[in-house]
Amino acid sequence: MSLEEKAKAAAKNVEGKAQEAMGNVTGDQGDKMAGQAKQTEAEARNAKEDAKDGVKDVIDKA
């Protein structure tokens, strides 16, 4: 996984957790759901990069 993409995914995850927590504190369901969506996006980015790394490893071993 590229370091830049990993950092972006981590930042998006932290942003999502903060927004979800704010939604929990204020009772704003919109903020809570948006925060959860950002965390899901971060997970998807990580999965995409992991898949790319896996393909690269296979190619490198061939």
d(CA 40, CA 26): 22
The whole-model pTM stands at 0.82
User: What tens digit of pLDDT does each residue of 2-58 get?
Assistant: 789 889 999 999 999 999 999 999 999 999 999 999 999 999 999 998 899 889 889
Listed by start position, the domains of the chain span 3-61
pLDDT at 59 over 60: yes
Tokens of 12: 């998006």
d(CA 52, CA 62): 16
Predicted local distance difference test score (pLDDT) of residue 12: 97
Beta-carbon neighbour count of residue 38 at 10 Å? 20
Predicted local distance difference test score (pLDDT) of residue 1: 53
d(CA 3, CA 11): 12
Predicted local distance difference test score (pLDDT) of residue 6: 87
